[in-house]
Amino acid sequence: MRDLIRFRVGLLLSLLFVLFAWSSGRDGNVQAKTYKKGFAYHKISSEMKSQMTGKSFPRSGAKISFSDLREVRVKYYDFKGKVRTGSLVVHKKIALKTAKIFYELYQIRYPVQKIRPIDMYDADDTRSMEANNTSAFNYRRVQGSTKLSMHSKGLAIDLNPRINPCIRNGVVDPPGGKVYKNRNVRKCKGKYRKYMIHKGDRVYKIFKKYGFKWGGEWYSLKDYQHFEYVG
C-alpha cells in the first residue's frame, strides 16, 4: 500500500514538474514576468537563440549577449480590428517599459500591422519595413555609417515602418512608403494615413512617457517609425 502511495505521489510530482516547465517556456527554465494579461517578457529561449544566431545576432564579435536581451510578448489590434499576438526582442532594461508601451497602445486601439522578430525576414531591415513589420533588436550598423544602431543594443523600436518611413535627402525608406512622404493627413493619399505618427499625438506621448525620443524630430533626416530609449 505504501509503495502504491509513493508511486502516485511521485507520478503527481512529475506531472506538476512537466506542467511547470511547459508554462515557463520550451526550455523549462524560461519564466515569464507578466505585466498584464497578454503582456509579458522573459529571457531568450534556446529555440529563439538558434533562430537569431547568424541573422539578427552575429555568430561572433557582438558587443552584447543574449543574457542582455528579453523577448516581450504583446497583444495588439491589426488594421482589421482583430486582436493579434506579437513578439519583440529588446534590452532587458526596457523589457517592462516595452510591455507597458504596447499595453497602452492596445488600450487606445492604435493598430499595428504585425509585430514579429526581424529574424522572420532574415534580419533584412528593408524586407521587414516593406512588410510594415514592427520590430526592435537587430545587430546592425546605421545605414551609410560604421556606427552601431541603437537596434543593436535592443534600445530602439520601429513602429509601422511603411506608413512611418525614414526620409533622408528626399529618399524614402522603405520605397513602398513613398505615399506617406507627405505627413499632412489631409493631403496624404495613403490608405492608413490617419495612423501616421505626429509630434504630440497619443503614440508620441506614450513613448515619451517611458523615456524614448522620436526620430521624427531629428534634423539631418526624419525617421518617423523610430523610437529609441534615452532614459
pLDDT of residue 16: 40
In a domain, 11, yes or no: no
CB 41 within 8 Å of CB 32: yes
pTM above threshold 0.75: yes
Output DSSP code: residue 29.
S
pLDDT of residue 28: 45
pLDDT of residue 22: 35
In a domain, 97, yes or no: yes
Sign, CA torsion 122/127/133/139: positive
C-alpha cell at 58: 552575429
Q: What is the pLDDT of residues 9-68, one digit of tens each?
A: 454 444 443 333 334 444 445 789 999 999 999 999 999 999 999 999 999 999 999 999
Q: What is the band of 2 on the pLDDT scale with cuts at 50, 70, 90?
A: low
Which are the contacts of 204, defined by CB distance < 8 A and separation ≥ 6? 197, 198, 214, 216
Question: If you count them, how many residues does the chain have?
Answer: 231
Query: Cα(49)–Cα(108) distance, rounded to whole angstroms?
Result: 33
In a domain, 96, yes or no: yes
Which residues lie across from 214 on neighbouring strands? 227
Number of domains in the chain: 1
In a domain, 21, yes or no: no
In a domain, 14, yes or no: no
In a domain, 16, yes or no: no
Domain carrying residue 145: 30-229
In a domain, 23, yes or no: no
Q: What is the band of 113 on the pLDDT scale with cuts at 50, 70, 90?
A: very high
Closest by Cα among 134, 154, 136, 144 to 62: 154
Please state the rounded mean pLDDT for residues 125-152.
91
Query: Cα(16)–Cα(24) distance, rounded to whole angstroms?
Result: 12
Task: Please state whether the peptide bond connecting residue 111 to the residue before it is cis, i.e. omega within 30 degrees of 0.
Answer: no
pLDDT of residue 141: 83
pLDDT at 98 over 60: yes
CB 210 within 8 Å of CB 217: no
In a domain, 9, yes or no: no
